[in-house]
Structure 1
Amino acid sequence: MAIRELCQNDLPEVLDIERQGYSFPWNESIFRGCFRPDYRLWALEVGDRLSGYAVVAYMADEAHLLNLCVATGQRRLGAGRCLLRHLVAESAQDGMSQVLLEVRDSNTRAMDLYASEGFSVIGRRPGYYPGGTEREDALVMALPLDDRSAFPGPP
């Protein structure tokens, strides 16, 4: 596994992974809007194939993880953890005080991953995510980056 900066040429593959991963995927214009100086976009490659990505917005001294998705064939193999560790380490190196994220209340696999990497639930956003007939709550999770030397790089 290797991580590099995501580029706009990656968008066709990103959109394919996004559609595999989410019932309500981001569209191309949302991704294009993330290519700005206050965002960090990461691509995970396995072999020579794009297999995942992460989108992080830097706001003041906080890194807000907006989207992390892994291709179906790479799930449960450490790819998401690798991306998460990379973006946490980069956020710490860039002087951010914490990483924040929202996760669907029903996405227990993602919550378990985040908790295993030190994130804790700090709040709830009612009706945050679109759903079938009703909207779904998001849990807000945070990871303080006080001791920047304590964060490992990718596994």
Structure 2
Amino acid sequence: MMRFHHMGVFVADIDEALRLWVDVLGFTLTHRAFIPDGRKDQPGTRMPAETLDDIFGVEGARSEMALLTSADGAMIELQCPLVPKIERTPPENLRYGHTGIHELGFQVEDIDGWFERIRAAGYQTQTDYVWPWAVTGKSFLFYDQDGNLIQFCEQKGMPSWRP
């Protein structure tokens, strides 16, 4: 068995990221902390320093993280590394011409309302309109404060890729 657990989004400013995810998108902040929070031999340690050093590939790794959940159970992990200091990816490397996960998609209802809400909050949309998607749906894409691409899709009826 395998099911989706969460998506990690690395950000340069965690407070600005929370403005999008909590205030605009309606996620609930369930946990916020600095990691690491101890060492392997300390009881109650959730993220040992040794492990974070191995994951980040540097000695003395440190990050601020936040876990968020939607009403439907989607979970987002925001990470704002302090050591090593995070660098914003150049916009040209966040588009479709480079490898990596560059698009996070959500199924929504009232896509036109979401489009207006995203634009009113000051986020750049990839197009100035909501476009037809998968024969029976509509969609739009927008960029968060770090240039990460997020897609909203509204599906009415059977998607075109299903038999």
TM-score category (smaller protein):
under 0.3
Structure possessing the higher radius of gyration over alpha carbons: 2
TM-score (normalizing by structure 1):
0.28
Question: Which structure has the highest strand share of the two?
Answer: 1
Q: Relative to total residues, which structure has the larger helix share, 1 or 2?
A: 1
